[in-house]
Amino acid sequence: MPLIAPVLDDRSFEDLFLELRNRIPVYTPEWTDHHDSDVGITLLQLFAYLGEGLQFRFNQIPEATHLAFLKLLDVPLRPARAARALLRFESKQAAGVRLYAGDQAKAGKVLFTLEQELTVWPLDCVAVARRSLLSEEELAQPGKVAEYIAHLDPGVRTTVQASVDAIQLAQGEGETVAPYETVTMGSDGKDPAIDFSNTVDQCVWIAVLAPKDPPIAPAMLADPVQGLKRVAGQPLPLSIGFSPKAWFPTLDEAPACGQPAPTLQWQASLAQAKADGSVAYRSVRVAGDTTQGFTSEGTVRLELPVDLAVLGAPAAPAGLAGTGTFPPELDDDRAQRLWFWLRAWRSDGSRIGEVQLLTLNAAPCVQVAAAAAQLLGTGTGQPDQVYRLADAPVVLDARYPVEVQVEEQGTWTDWLRVENFDASGAGDAHFSVDAEAGTVRFGARAPQLGERIRVNRYHTSRGAAGNVPPQAIDKIGATLSSPVPLAPLRRPDAPPGVKLSNPLRAYGGVDNESLDAALRRIPTELRRNWRAVCQDDFASLALETPGLELARAECLPLFHAPSRERKPGCVSVVVWPARDPQHPDAPLPDAWELAQVCGWLDRWRLVTTELYVIPPTYRRIAVAVSVKVREGFGLDAVRDWVEMLLRQYLAPLPPHGPDGRGWPLGRRVLARELEGAAMQVEGVEYIQSLRLDFATPTADGKGETWSAIDVLKLADWEVPALAAVTVVDDQTELPAPGTGLAPPPTRPPVAVPVMKEVC
């Protein structure tokens, strides 16, 4: 919406006078003459008249003054941001189904637009991880593998020992053996996530499968060239969708802005084995990778060889299946549909973490819909002409242009969209768009009297309404217009024989900026002049990261996050998400949120600034307090209020904390300060005693020990995390430190219910 000055108090003279007159029976019931002839009524009318004048002056400050300056600066509100999703397509047509950038998918009445072109093949896949059963330290110990094999069940031990003997016979006695188990994940996103960080080979294996239904499967297995009909002499394009599982990096794992993403190496297995019987692989060309080396959600576009007959999965010699460079085995009916294997790994040697989706025939989409062409009106010849579009908010992106034409001397002429008119001359055919309000504005050069104005193309979004749940996007519609300006595509109807779904929830949709948020943002935006230099610049810019809802951001100047030391030119920004269901009391940003903030701040930082975006580091504490309850108050109610107040006082997010902005970074925690906070609860007569406990991790990192302390000093990047609050009356002793923070161990380890005997 446009910037409209609000009215803080809209009561008129009549409203004020009526309110005053209605209070007469409450305060002076003996006053019964309420006619205009009464002197008291005349005084009330005078007070109402003076009050109306005061309200008029009051409505001018302070927000209206801010809005007047904002209008003068011509800074609009931020429009809604479109949601995004990863779509998975299915088809049984051997020739494949071609989809184009600009094709639309539907989730009810919400429209989504494909961002990439795609050929949907009648193929499926399954992701496989060879998860190691021993750690790297155990594998390095002599005899550890043999000891592990000796403790296996007899049937399993015989099979594993046969594989070990076959490996040592083929490659020598000194070959290191790493036992592993096969973990699979289907392409529909319904299986649990796979962790590729502890695999034996650091590889992601993808089995490419022929479809279940005939006649495609037999033809493909017999002759892949006939099974997949494609353009002769052209490589087969394959689109792989990827989505990592949300994980919460520590301070050591936080990303550094400006670092290049890792690259992936891809290979496909060949049908013809090598002379020594091992599997032969061929490198596969990567046509595009929006996953940035399997670090973020996106697609990888591969180009299979022109001769598809060379691809396959040869049988391994006896006892060597799944060992060494041989692909893992599929132990279900999917093994009968196996065509060939794809394997991928990072060239820098880093490991791929948990993955929640790996699928074929995938394409990204964005919740953007094309609007119909519109005649805006006719020019008036005056400068600063403004015309309203039929739909708002407007998506301003290079892929979704706003095309405006003016009929000049009988010829429709294209005008150029600019962000502002600062660099526009009197003769430049420029216009600007207020995306949030949905208006088109002309600058110094304006359409002349009688010249018609039309908009040929623009796109809109529905903001947060596009954050649809999984499986909601299930229909594909016709293409209205392609977002690519140079290649307008039109399809008369939806492509036949295609099914689609979104295995994961759509994300990133945000509604229009509110007026209060704009009043807080615009002054700081003008002050920093589109650069992040000062400490407040980094914090305020981080909170404005597109597509994220952050509750707090703090800047640590000169802090080098990896070494925890002060270094010149280093800046670290600590961010807190607004919501974290997994850690509600100590919210942590996941890796995707940190990467989004890092990419956003990287645009504004100086070239000489080494920037890190890090999560908050929490020090676990517990508070035990003994209170004397006043007479007339119940202990249960007072206990709940004391616990709630202490949790709010130590909370990291606003509007809680000592100053309403969350607990400050690095501020020490004092037991006597918490006593003063607990004394604010009505019903507490005095604090008998209060103990502050803090946790210290054990040497093995699997547990923690608790100790009492009067003053807990925190590092500059740390905040407290309240693990437990214990409130007792003044007659009860405080429990020992750490008591009740973990359930007692059960004996036996698995509790088994015992049924009572009945006579």
Beta strand 610-614 with 669-670: parallel, antiparallel or unpaired? Answer: unpaired
Strand locations in 561-717 (E): 565-577, 610-614, 617-629, 669-670, 684-697, 704-709, 711-712
Report the 3 state secondary structure along 498-537: CEEECCCCCECCECCCCHHHHHHHHHHHHHHCCCECCHHH
pLDDT at position 410: 86
The per-residue pLDDT for range 590-628, each reduced to its tens digit, is 988 998 999 899 888 888 899 999 999 999 999 999 999
Does 144 fall in a domain?
yes
pLDDT at position 35: 87
One domain, residues 183 and 269? yes
Reduce the DSSP state of residue 22 to 3 states and report it: helix
Q: Phi and psi dihedrals of 224, rounded to 5?
A: -60, -30
Instruction: State yes or no: pLDDT of 313 exceeds 90.
Output: no
> Which DSSP category does 399 fall into?
T
> What integer is the mean pLDDT of 722-740?
82
The per-residue pLDDT for range 153-169, each reduced to its tens digit, is 665 566 666 666 666 55
pLDDT at position 229: 61
pLDDT at position 328: 87
Range of weakest confidence among 79-83, 124-128, 253-257, 531-535: 253-257
Residues 47, 20 contacting (CB under 8 angstroms): yes
| The two three-digit tokens of residue 157, written as one number | 């031990």
Instruction: State yes or no: pLDDT of 212 exceeds 50.
Output: yes
How far apart are alpha carbons 453 and 447 in whole angstroms?
8
Say which residue, 425 or 160, is predicted with more confidence.
425
One domain, residues 450 and 491? no
**Look-up: residue for tokens 């005997």?**
757
- Asked, as a colleague might, if the bond just before 655 is cis with ω within 30 of 0, I would say yes
pLDDT at position 753: 44
Residues 461, 65 contacting (CB under 8 angstroms): no
* Residue 148 pLDDT grade (very low, low, confident, very high; cuts 50, 70, 90): low
Reduce the DSSP state of residue 542 to 3 states and report it: helix
Residue type, 586: A
Taking Cα atoms as reference points, which of 204, 200, 54 lies closest to residue 125? 204
**Look-up: residue for tokens 């790994």?**
345
Does 753 fall in a domain?
no
| The two three-digit tokens of residue 570, written as one number | 């280093």
One domain, residues 196 and 343? yes
**Look-up: residue for tokens 């002049």?**
529
**Look-up: residue for tokens 């002409």?**
385
> What integer is the mean pLDDT of 356-370?
94
Reduce the DSSP state of residue 56 to 3 states and report it: helix
Structurally, how many domains does the chain consist of? 7
The per-residue pLDDT for range 159-198, each reduced to its tens digit, is 666 666 666 555 555 556 778 888 899 888 888 999 998 8
pTM beyond 0.85: the answer is no
Does 1 fall in a domain?
no
One domain, residues 217 and 348? yes
Residues 715, 665 contacting (CB under 8 angstroms): no
> Can you give the CATH number for the domain in which 570 is found?
3.30.300
Rounded to the nearest 10 degrees, what angle do helices 591-602 and 535-543 cross at? 130
Range of weakest confidence among 182-191, 318-327, 329-338, 547-556: 318-327
List all residues 6 or more positions away from 164 whose beta carbon is below 8 Å from its beta carbon. Answer: 149, 177
Residue 143, domain extent:
134-178
Beta strand 565-577 with 669-670: parallel, antiparallel or unpaired? Answer: unpaired
Q: Which of 512, 545, 572 is the last residue of a domain?
A: 512
Mean pLDDT rounded to a whole number for the chain: 83
pLDDT at position 480: 44
Residues 628, 702 contacting (CB under 8 angstroms): no
One domain, residues 205 and 345? yes
Does 523 fall in a domain?
no
List all residues 6 or more positions away from 153 whose beta carbon is below 8 Å from its beta carbon. Answer: none
One domain, residues 191 and 297? yes
Reduce the DSSP state of residue 105 to 3 states and report it: strand
pLDDT at position 199: 87
Residues 722, 587 contacting (CB under 8 angstroms): no
- Give the rounded percent of residues in the chain with a pLDDT score beyond 70: 84
Beta strand 550-560 with 565-577: parallel, antiparallel or unpaired? Answer: antiparallel
Give the torsion through C-alpha atoms of 156, 160, 163, 164, to 10 deg: -160
Does 518 fall in a domain?
no
One domain, residues 236 and 264? yes
> Which DSSP category does 308 fall into?
G
Beta strand 610-614 with 565-577: parallel, antiparallel or unpaired? Answer: parallel
How far apart are alpha carbons 491 and 279 in whole angstroms?
44
One domain, residues 308 and 214? yes
One domain, residues 490 and 606? no
Residues 358, 204 contacting (CB under 8 angstroms): yes
How far apart are alpha carbons 304 and 269 in whole angstroms?
11
Does 629 fall in a domain?
yes
Highest mean pLDDT among 163-177, 652-666, 742-756: 652-666
Does 380 fall in a domain?
yes
Highest mean pLDDT among 271-275, 387-391, 483-487, 752-756: 387-391
- Give the rounded percent of residues in the chain with a pLDDT score beyond 90: 37
* Residue 759 pLDDT grade (very low, low, confident, very high; cuts 50, 70, 90): very low
Say which residue, 225 or 549, is predicted with more confidence.
549
pLDDT at position 78: 84
> What integer is the mean pLDDT of 482-489?
38
Q: Is 696 exposed, middle or buried (0-12, 13-18, 19+ CB in 10 A)?
A: exposed
pLDDT at position 150: 64
Taking Cα atoms as reference points, which of 497, 559, 712 lies closest to residue 621? 712
Does 20 fall in a domain?
yes
Report the DSSP beta bridge partners of residue 403.
Answer: 457
Taking Cα atoms as reference points, which of 452, 447, 487, 463 lies closest to residue 391? 463
Q: Phi and psi dihedrals of 8, rounded to 5?
A: -70, -35
Q: Which of 332, 360, 388 is the last residue of a domain?
A: 360
One domain, residues 219 and 333? yes
Laid out side by side, the sheet with 281-283 consists of 180-186, 124-132, 204-209, 338-346, 264-269, 281-283
Residues 372, 300 contacting (CB under 8 angstroms): no
Residues 50, 17 contacting (CB under 8 angstroms): no
List all residues 6 or more positions away from 95 whose beta carbon is below 8 Å from its beta carbon. Answer: 229, 230
How far apart are alpha carbons 477 and 110 in whole angstroms?
12
Q: What angle do CA 223, 226, 232 make, to 5 degrees?
A: 125
One domain, residues 225 and 332? yes
List all residues 6 or more positions away from 712 whose beta carbon is below 8 Å from its beta carbon. Answer: 619, 621, 668, 669, 670, 692, 694, 720
How far apart are alpha carbons 355 and 654 in whole angstroms?
33
Residue type, 126: V
Q: Which of 360, 388, 420 is the last residue of a domain?
A: 360
Residues 573, 601 contacting (CB under 8 angstroms): yes
Length of the chain: 759
> What integer is the mean pLDDT of 441-449?
88
One domain, residues 220 and 346? yes
pLDDT at position 220: 47
Instruction: State yes or no: pLDDT of 743 exceeds 60.
Output: no
